[in-house]
Amino acid sequence: MTRAGIGYDLHRLSPDRKLILGGMEIPFDKGPLGHSDGDVLTHAICDALLGAAGLGDIGTHFPDTDPQWKGVSSLVFLREISVRIAARNLTIVHIDAIVVAERPRLGPHFPAMRESLARALSIPPELLNLKAKTHEGTGEIGRGEAIAAHAIATLSDAK
Ligand code: MG
């Protein structure tokens, strides 16, 4: 059996924060506000994986009211989720994700981001596809006030 899960996240951007995406720091003049590192891409992938596994959502597993998650790398969440998925006898077939941001240009950073995310999940980077979109200058994303990501994950029952 194959199961698909969807994930979405959005964070507001602030000048006093680092931009972390896919566990990597991207040079930029703003970064996401958030209890953790505000990594929208990793958060969307976490929720897609949890959804496919029928395990709820990231807020349930790693509540932002819990001080142990303050400022942690979101790759820690991803690694922990991969362990919980494997414990349910499920394997990751594929992940596809879109980062929606007006700036900066993300394409050049995707190869390293894929490596970083795949390492946290203990999967080959080929199973992970990343895409970028602008918001065509409209709304809060288009004005550079926010950054968002969508992800879909496919899992199958381990043989
Ligand atoms: Mg988030």
The Å distance, Cα 33 to ligand 1 centre, comes to 9
The Å distance, Cα 72 to ligand 1 centre, comes to 12
The Å distance, Cα 21 to ligand 1 centre, comes to 11
Check whether 7 has a pLDDT greater than 80.
Answer: yes
* Average pLDDT value for residue range 30-58: 95
Identify the residue with better confidence: 104 or 34. Answer: 104
The Å distance, Cα 86 to ligand 1 centre, comes to 23
- pLDDT the model gives residue 72: 87
The Å distance, Cα 159 to ligand 1 centre, comes to 33
Check whether 99 has a pLDDT greater than 90.
Answer: yes
The Å distance, Cα 107 to ligand 1 centre, comes to 21
Q: Peptide bond before 104: cis, by omega within 30 degrees of 0?
A: yes
Question: pTM for the full model?
Answer: 0.97
The Å distance, Cα 118 to ligand 1 centre, comes to 19
Count the neighbouring beta carbons within 10 Å of the beta carbon of residue 35: 15
Residue-wise pLDDT tens digits, 133-152:
999 999 999 999 999 999 99
Residue pointed to by tokens 């896919």: 22
Count the neighbouring beta carbons within 10 Å of the beta carbon of residue 112: 14
159 confidence band (pLDDT: 50, 70, 90): low
Residue-wise pLDDT tens digits, 53-97:
999 999 999 988 888 888 889 999 999 999 999 999 999 999 999
CA 1 to chain centre: 25
2-157 in CATH: which number? 3.30.1330.50
